[in-house]
Structure 1
Amino acid sequence: MIIKKYVGKTESEATEEARRELGQNIVVMNVRPTKKTGFFSLFQSQKIEVTVALEEESERPVKTYSQPKENRPQIVTPSKDSSQRDTIVSATQNATKVRESKDYRDDNSAIEEKLDNLSNLLEKNFSKNEKDSSSDNTPSDTGVKAPEKDEISEETMSFIKLLYNTLIENEVDEIYVNQLTDEVEKISKPGLPFDFALANVYQKMVLKFGKSEPIVMDKPGPRAEIFIGPTGVGKTTTIAKLASELSVTQKKKVALLTVDTYRIAAAEQLRTYASILEIPFRVIYSVEEMKQAAEDFKDYDFIMVDTAGHSLHNEELKQGVESFIRTLEDIMECENFLVLSATTKYRDLIEIADAYSEMVAYRLIFTKMDETGAKGNLYNVRMHTGAPVAYITNGQNVPDDIAVFDAQRIVKNLLGGKS
């Protein structure tokens, strides 16, 4: 893990300098104005300091898209027996080197500020956990293998137990929980405060999520934004929210298409939204009609496409959706978004994600965040697929109940802090 600071006149200037040096995969950990010192500071303009982190190659999750398009990166599925320990050892060595520098101490303080009262909350639980386990110091009920007594302190083991239980309660998969607790064991040394271990886990999880990748108009259109996913997850409402943001707030030219001819109510709902937003809407029944729509809206910035949800075992519907996507890909740049409900069972989410990865590469949108208290599935699906999370939605209100994914907020929640 690499942690560095950059200073510029604005946040964007400092962040751009960081990207030029470290690459596009940096994660912004903290932004604050620099402190002025000395008499001449009175005549100097305020500058912004940005702290960024970069996860090194060996630490990044392996993506699992299959059948990639020619111009997409080749991605492979991770094997169950991959050398996780080597990755953790490498990360530990880097974290230890950084910890010894003054910069890291400053960054650690910044992270503590971002966690708000999370440290105090964990400390209270930690004290309670010690009392509960006073009769039995072996944390066998946590699923974490306890090292020899002289290898790790009881305080650290109690923190590991608390961390394990907190993540499991938030429905993070046990495989990923054990990776994180192993990391704590590796970096633990006698006398090391648990605040450092907490900050390390926080950083690690934020970096695993990576930066969000929302819709950005980085070059002239048209560009197709295609929304795929099972029925009942809120694809149509999500499209309406994003169409409103792009057309009303960003003043972009947007057209709405639907190839979902199986649910009349969904098409009429999208037609209503299009009428309110005063943007064109069209129902597409065939590949030829899709080609005609692409030609008719070639001067637009975005063509947003709603697809039919289908059973994973319905090959006919699957092939129909895929044929529309391939048609658009041959005409213009396309981005695919897999829309998933945060309330869906983990096993089903993985099955859905794997099925759609056979069709296209995609980014993730999680809906119904307001209907669940356990958000571990976001971390699970991100780790399993390697696909970036673009948006989350937390209600039915159009256009308000949608937000660009914020890894720091979700990780804080997963670690027991307030949302």
Structure 2
Amino acid sequence: MIIKKFQGKTENEAVEAAKRELGKNIVIMNVKGVKKKGFFRFFRSDMIEVTVALEEENERYYPLKKEEKKEPASPSKVVYPSPYNEAQISRSLIIENLDEEKRENTLLEEKLDNLHILLEQQLQRPDSEKEEEEGEVHSELEKFTKILYNTMLDNEVSEKNANQIIDEIEKSVKPNMPFDYALSSIYQKMILKFGKPMSITPPENGVKVIFFVGPTGVGKTTTIAKIASKFIVDDKKKVALLTADTYRIAAAEQLRTYANILEVPFRVIYAPEEVGQVLKDFAGYDYIFVDTSGHSYQNEEQKANTNDLIHSVDGLAEKEVFLVLSATTKYRDMIHIVDSYSQVTDYRLIFTKLDETSAMGNLLNIKLHTGASLSYVTCGQNVPDDIEEFNPQKTVKKLLGGQN
């Protein structure tokens, strides 16, 4: 297997460079930013580094023909060729004789190696007392799927989604396939389920209005400040901050304070009819970020007000809407929230407070329920540092029990 890193100004640029050199069959294993150095680095990366893998022809796994086997095998047993040295079967790659640069490019990076070792250790544990008493014997793959299933439930992936993933494993792998190949397969499948992150995109013409919606207390205002800092300080964009949250004075004052620090315009709007004038006043700007009032999904009046505000820019300016959710919210409540906002508009997802929970299952649950793209995640109150674009690779590793 070829493991290689590519850099570009954007993820797409790095991926295209990888495809040009290695072909279209690459698998993206990791994406990370190469940070700026210096006082004003904040959290913006100079470059994006993508780690990709390409399975070479002699590493593809398929049953050997009978004449190719060195020793007779049982008719029911499928033998898979392996690039592994048997003395090092716990490792995904033979790395003993590689130079320093190649040592860095191990399969799925060291973070996924941690997951591989964890699962291997669990597979070596004895079965439960009940299984021993009943004399049940489970294959390595059956043990593997059971561990993965329980791990996903522990991470609060819903039973429905966990069962669907396990069904896909059982359909896509061979009975005697080593579990580490099944692990790599399900890792890739879950990344595909999350899809490509979609953050704020540049306006095609004129100013773009960005609405942030969501329940009270999820951190909308702080999230706006973090994203605004990125665009203002790192990207040198002209940004104006607005709030339509006239219910909570503290929220308006908090955003006003951030606007003063960033030295950008701030305005309170009290009705959707004011939006037209706002667009005229800030016509020369790149973005207008709008903080909206949080409300219960059961409050029909406030939901109607949010709907009127968001659609007040239709035909006047480009817009994007981001639904901000707390990762600590219960799954059942999240379903009600996202369904309520789906009645108002299409949106992308931002998850906050990842530092306040160890379970990431709701990120997958809500993604699969809504079909909406994930954009940003936040993990603390520090502005602007505690925010990053959603990273599906890192999230899947956690969902499968790996260490980040």
Q: How does the TM-score come out when normalised to structure 1?
A: 0.73
**Matches of 2:317 and 2:50, distance apart in 1:** 39
Q: Deviations over 1:117-154 (max 9, x none)?
A: 11001111222263556425699xxxxxxxxx8xxx52
Q: Answer 1 or 2: which has greater helix percent.
A: 1
**Matches of 2:243 and 2:14, distance apart in 1:** 42
Contact kept in structure 1, 2:214 and 2:324, CA below 8 Å: yes
Q: Deviations over 1:171-212 (max 9, x none)?
A: 001111111111222234343110011111111111100111
Tell me which of 340, 358, 362 is aligned to 1:355. Answer: 340
Matched, 1:28 2:28: yes
Question: Which stretch of the first structure deviates more once superposed, 169-178 or 154-163?
Answer: 154-163
Number of the residue aligned with 1:184? 169
Shift of 1:221: 3.6
**Matches of 2:363 and 2:395, distance apart in 1:** 9
Residues 361 and 154 (structure 1), Cα distance of their counterparts in 2 relative to 1, 3 Å cut: same
Contact kept in structure 1, 2:111 and 2:403, CA below 8 Å: no
2:145 is aligned with what amino acid?
I
1:166 is aligned with what amino acid?
T
**Matches of 2:50 and 2:296, distance apart in 1:** 50
Aligned counterparts, 1:16-415, within 5 A: 16=16, 28-29=28-29, 51=52, 99-100=61-62, 110-111=107-108, 113=110, 115-128=112-125, 130=127, 134-135=131-132, 154-217=139-202, 219-415=204-400
Shift of 1:241: 0.6
Residues 242 and 273 (structure 1), Cα distance of their counterparts in 2 relative to 1, 3 Å cut: same
**Matches of 1:235 and 1:316, distance apart in 2:** 20
Number of the residue aligned with 1:39? none
Determine helix, strand or coil for the equivalent of 2:176. Answer: coil
Q: How does the TM-score come out when normalised to structure 2?
A: 0.76
2:115 is aligned with what amino acid?
L
Contact kept in structure 2, 1:256 and 1:305, CA below 8 Å: yes
Residues 272 and 416 (structure 1), Cα distance of their counterparts in 2 relative to 1, 3 Å cut: same
Contact kept in structure 1, 2:31 and 2:391, CA below 8 Å: no
Shift of 1:268: 0.4
1:410 is aligned with what amino acid?
T
Contact kept in structure 2, 1:168 and 1:177, CA below 8 Å: yes
Shift of 1:114: 5.3
**Matches of 2:31 and 2:255, distance apart in 1:** 39
Determine helix, strand or coil for the equivalent of 1:124. Answer: helix
1:224 is aligned with what amino acid?
V
Q: Which runs of 5+ in 1 are unaligned?
A: 21-25, 33-47, 54-96, 140-148
Q: Deviations over 1:309-368 (max 9, x none)?
A: 112222211111111111122211100000000000000001100110111000000001
Residues 105 and 336 (structure 1), Cα distance of their counterparts in 2 relative to 1, 3 Å cut: farther
Residues 19 and 211 (structure 1), Cα distance of their counterparts in 2 relative to 1, 3 Å cut: farther
Contact kept in structure 2, 1:27 and 1:207, CA below 8 Å: no
**Matches of 1:19 and 1:287, distance apart in 2:** 47
Say what the alpha-carbon RMSD is for the aligned residues: 3.4
Residues 166 and 129 (structure 1), Cα distance of their counterparts in 2 relative to 1, 3 Å cut: farther
**Matches of 1:342 and 1:138, distance apart in 2:** 42
Determine helix, strand or coil for the equivalent of 2:211. Answer: strand
Shift of 1:156: 1.6
Q: Which runs of 5+ in 2 are unaligned?
A: 21-25, 33-48, 64-79, 85-91, 94-105
Residues 19 and 289 (structure 1), Cα distance of their counterparts in 2 relative to 1, 3 Å cut: farther
Residues 138 and 265 (structure 1), Cα distance of their counterparts in 2 relative to 1, 3 Å cut: farther
Shift of 1:374: 0.8
Shift of 1:273: 0.4
Determine helix, strand or coil for the equivalent of 1:115. Answer: helix
Aligned sequence identity (%):
53
Contact kept in structure 2, 1:220 and 1:301, CA below 8 Å: no
Number of the residue aligned with 2:15? 15
Residues 138 and 315 (structure 1), Cα distance of their counterparts in 2 relative to 1, 3 Å cut: farther
Which structure has the larger Rg?
2
1:123 is aligned with what amino acid?
E
Determine helix, strand or coil for the equivalent of 1:262. Answer: coil
Residues 137 and 197 (structure 1), Cα distance of their counterparts in 2 relative to 1, 3 Å cut: farther
**Matches of 2:340 and 2:177, distance apart in 1:** 45
2:108 is aligned with what amino acid?
I
**Number of residue-to-residue matches in the alignment:** 342
Determine helix, strand or coil for the equivalent of 1:308. Answer: coil
Number of the residue aligned with 2:44? none
Residues 8 and 349 (structure 1), Cα distance of their counterparts in 2 relative to 1, 3 Å cut: closer
1:310 is aligned with what amino acid?
H
